[in-house]
A = this chain, B = another copy of it.
């Protein structure tokens, strides 16, 4: 007998991560991974008190040990549960600086989360996704989604840290997509091209109409749609931008 499938969201903050968690919570128990409890506590409460099920776990996705502990906790709470969807939404600190002013640590910050973290997270979820893909009772092919950015395809001046990390994560996503699609796992990369409307960006574009920013709920809906595609129509990359974005 198969346990109920779950969804895991790595990188839950007040924006995309939370919206994605809410959206997937309508269908699955969700696991919320974030560095600090304040990023998931109220969200977990909200989901748990409104008919869903959420488990928050403090996790540093760039640490193999921290991730291993998180997955042990997931296994304890949801033993043998197939993962229907795993969303890697974590992102390192954003450092916009002239190249000659960057410390090695600042330059590497993007890599630690977006590349190393994405790699470690993928290694932990993929065996489960492959197994779930062979499970004929699964409603949709199991899905692994990576959240990218403008910088995933465009490397601007002063953005060397973020862009090199995001380019690398996109390559990782594509390589995994090609290796695991034949095993039935759906891997997708989303280029989020614009400012997401979250508390932290409230002051940005503040005189512009709402359509100048991306709605986190809208991203979540697009992720949900990706996760429900069948084996005969995998989308491996989408871009998402608000209607007023210049590109």
Interface residues of A (CB under 8 A from B): 64, 98-100, 102, 104, 107-108, 111, 115-116, 119-120, 122-123, 126-127, 141, 151, 155-160, 163-176, 178-182, 184, 186, 197, 210-211, 213-215, 218-219, 221-222, 225, 229-247
Contacts and interface: CB of A to CB of B under 8 A. Distances in A.
A245 B175 contact: no
B222 A235 contact: yes
- Grouping DSSP codes into helix (H, G, I), strand (E, B) and loop, the A interface class, with mixed when no group exceeds half, is helix
A242 to B, nearest CB: 5
Identical chains in the assembly: 4
15 contacts: A99-B126, A100-B123, A107-B119, A108-B116, A111-B115, A151-B171, A156-B178, A160-B179, A163-B172, A167-B168, A168-B168, A181-B245, A215-B232, A233-B240, A234-B242
B197 A175 contact: no
A162 to B, nearest CB: 9
Given A159-B175, A238-B238, 20 more contacts: A99-B179, A108-B116, A155-B170, A155-B171, A155-B173, A163-B171, A163-B174, A163-B175, A164-B172, A167-B167, A168-B171, A184-B243, A214-B233, A218-B232, A222-B225, A232-B242, A233-B240, A234-B243, A236-B241, A237-B239
A218 B238 contact: no
Given A99-B122, A160-B119, A247-B178, A170 B172 contact: no
Nearest to A244: B182
Contacts of A243: 141, 181-182, 184, 186, 231-232, 234
A23 to B, nearest CB: 12
B244 A219 contact: no
Given A222-B229, A243-B232, A164 B115 contact: yes
Given A179-B99, A240-B235, A167 B171 contact: yes
Contacts of A173: 155
Nearest to A107: B119
